[in-house]
Structure 1
Amino acid sequence: MGSLVAALLVGGSGTATAAAAAPAAAATAPCPERASVEVFREGGIPLVDWRENLEFDGRGTLWVSHVTKHRVEGYAPDGTLKTSFPVPGPGGIRRGPDGMMYVNFGVNPLTPRGGIMRFDPTAAHPEPQKVVEGISGINGLAIDVHGNFYVSRELATGILKFRPDGTQDEEWTKKANVFGTNGLEIVGDQLYASVITDTSSPVVRIPLDDPANHTTITNLSPNPLDIKLLDDLTYFGGNLVVASFRDGQLIQVNPATGRSCVLVDGLRMPTSVRIARGFGGNDPRHDLFVVEASGRILKVRVG
């Protein structure tokens, strides 16, 4: 949440809260899977040391966008900081089908003209280049197998779609008219989006070839006072795992049924969660990594 919407809504609090009573579709009970949490890297001052998003390049490096220090960091599996380079207000970061890494920039509301940058993860000193620019209020990022970019906006309607050459697909964006999206994840031919500004905390499914036919698969906050402030999400073991910034939770959602449960509780303003791919001895079938607005980077072992 580079726009700091969540921080404003929770008043800067990092205290996890218990889920209120809700229908069966809402996340109220722990998941049956056992999950353990360990600190991969300690944080600093909460909110000041805000790590916003993360992605693995599949070549042994974990890339993290540090929104408040305006840089992208590359970590080795042993926790060593291998490299870092400046990016103004970095947000969503993803590996493209070409093996390059892409990162949103200008996600801070004080940076009115943002976009997407590309960098080579194999370079000793990566030099990001602009692919898309001149857009504002952006946050999350997803990239399909054809190299199209999808960008979320927390305070606007419509998920932005850009072609690989950087031109905008305005018709697709107009049809994907969901307000307040944050995290984005592509599973097959479907795009899943978490919504941060809706008090019902919905997770939405948008068909890539028919974006007007988008549907809500679950509302995680039937009680409007229990808004989750949903952030990034990932696909893991056949389910979606969504970060709840406000409650300090990772919520597991079955995309077919909408049923949900709390996979992890007690985190400190989690902002993104990703599967560990090609990262040392970590197993993508069991290991997730999480970044927080507290600055911490965490490893979650499931099962």
Structure 2
Amino acid sequence: MAIRGRARAAAAGVLSALLVAGAHTPVAASEAQVPAASVTTAPEPCTQRVSVEVFREGGVPLLDWRENLEFDGHGTLWVAHITKHRVEGYAPDGTLKATFPVNGPGGIRRGPDGQMYVNFGVNPLTSGSGSGIMRFDPTAARPKPEKVVDGLSGINGLAIDSAGNFYLSRELATGVLKIRPDGTKDEQWTRGASVFGTNGLQIVGDQLYASVITSTASPVVRIPLNDPAHHTTVTELSPNPLDTKVLDDLTSFGGDLVVAGFRDGELIRVDPKTGRSCVLATGLRMPTSVRVPRGFGDHDPRRELFVAEASGRIVKVTVR
């Protein structure tokens, strides 16, 4: 979820709205157009033991908002720092090894070509002229971002399929936005993926999974890449609207999905086949993104998850 003032469901005793580089604004559950869930239940604690350690300390919470992160597979963790308008590259030991300016960076992902892609201008209240997608070479000594697509508005999360198509979440609009590799919009696909208020995006096989931030029911939605109109809701994690999770980014982990719950500082594990869920980790500080380490030194993708927070921290969660 971009910093857009995650005004997390007023009824939930949510964080007050914040506008720095942008801000999330959840709306009433009735406004979020999602199909009925296969499972609607509040998740219980998972049975696995986990440990949480700080990989990178934060600064002033909210003002040091790290929005998203991704591994390039070549030993660098790339982080979108939305309030400082920059992308940062970290070595496996936590050393900051690279940084360059990007205006309001949001979702960041590795493409099938090995390049890194990052959304910029992540703010739903701005015009589309200052937002889009940038690309940079993660292996360059001094990465220089270049615009790939411009003129997109209200964008946040990012996913890229094996053919190089881009999928962008939009928290205040209906339809996940699909952009072809040549930069043109696939309007028909976007109309089919008619879910309002998506945030985190994750492709698993031929399915796109999305978390919905605008619904107090806290849904996770499955959208077939080849048939987006047949999207379904995997689960709703907040049967009580006063306990909305304010879902942010999500990732694939051990055959399941792991979703960041911004409001309560949780990582929630979801079985995409059954919709069953459990709380994997608690005590985080406004988690915004979660990813599995790939090609990152000795870090184990089978047991570890890295999390960015609006507190400014980057933390490592190890599942025993």
TM (norm. structure 1) is: 0.94
Q: Secondary structure at the match of 1:6?
A: coil
Contact 2:109–2:117 (Cα < 8 Å) also in 1 = yes
Name the CA distance, whole Å, in 2 between partners of 1:111 and 1:69.
18
| Distance of 2:223 and 2:116 partners within structure 1 | 24
Which residue of the partner structure matches residue 30 of structure 2?
A: none
1:26 CA displacement: 2.5
Q: How many residues align?
A: 294
Q: 1:11 aligns with which of 15, 19, 22?
A: 15
Match of 1:94 in 2: 109
Q: Which amino acid aligns with 2:53?
A: E
- Report the equivalent of 1:210: 227
Instruction: Give the match's secondary structure for 2:6.
Output: helix
Write out per-residue CA displacement over residues 212-265 of structure 1, whole angstroms, 9 at most, x where no aligned residue: 000001000111111110000000001000000001000000000000000001
The answer on 1:39 being equivalent to 2:47 is no
Q: Conserved in 1, the CA contact under 8 Å of 2:39 and 2:274? A: no
2:27 aligned residue: none
1:84 is displaced (CA, Å) by 0.4
Alignment partners' CA distance in 2, 1:109 and 1:213:
27
The percent identity for this pair of structures is 75
- 1:116 alignment counterpart: 133
- Taking structure 2 as the reference length, the TM-score comes to 0.89
Matched to 2:111, the amino acid is G
CA distance in 2, matches of 1:182, 1:150: 11
Structure 1 stretch 195-204 or stretch 108-117: which is displaced more?
108-117
**Structure 1 residue identity aligned to 2:6:** A
Counterparts in 2 of 1:106 and 1:286: CA distance versus 1, 3 Å:
same
2:173 maps to: 156
1:26 aligns to 2:41 (yes or no): yes
Give yes or no for contact 1:246–1:269 (8 Å, CA) kept in 2.
yes
Tell me the distance in 2 between the aligned counterparts of 1:109 and 1:172: 21
Flag the structure with higher strand content: 1
Please give the alpha-carbon distance, in whole angstroms, between the structure 1 residues aligned to 2:142 and 2:6: 33
1:7 Cα offset (Å)? 4.6
**Amino acid of the structure 2 residue aligned with 1:208:** L
Cα distance in 1 for partners of 2:16, 2:242 equals: 17
Indicate which of 130, 146, 155 corresponds to 1:138.
155
Cα shift at 1:8: 6.0
Aligned partner of residue 288 in structure 2, secondary structure = strand
Paired residue for 1:20? none
* Pairs within 5 Å for 1:39-78: 39-78=54-93
Cα–Cα, structure 1 residues 7 and 297, in superposed 2: closer, same or farther, change >3 Å? farther
Distance 1:36 1:12, change over 3 A: farther
1:228 and 2:245 are equivalent in the alignment: yes
- 1:109: how far off? 3.8
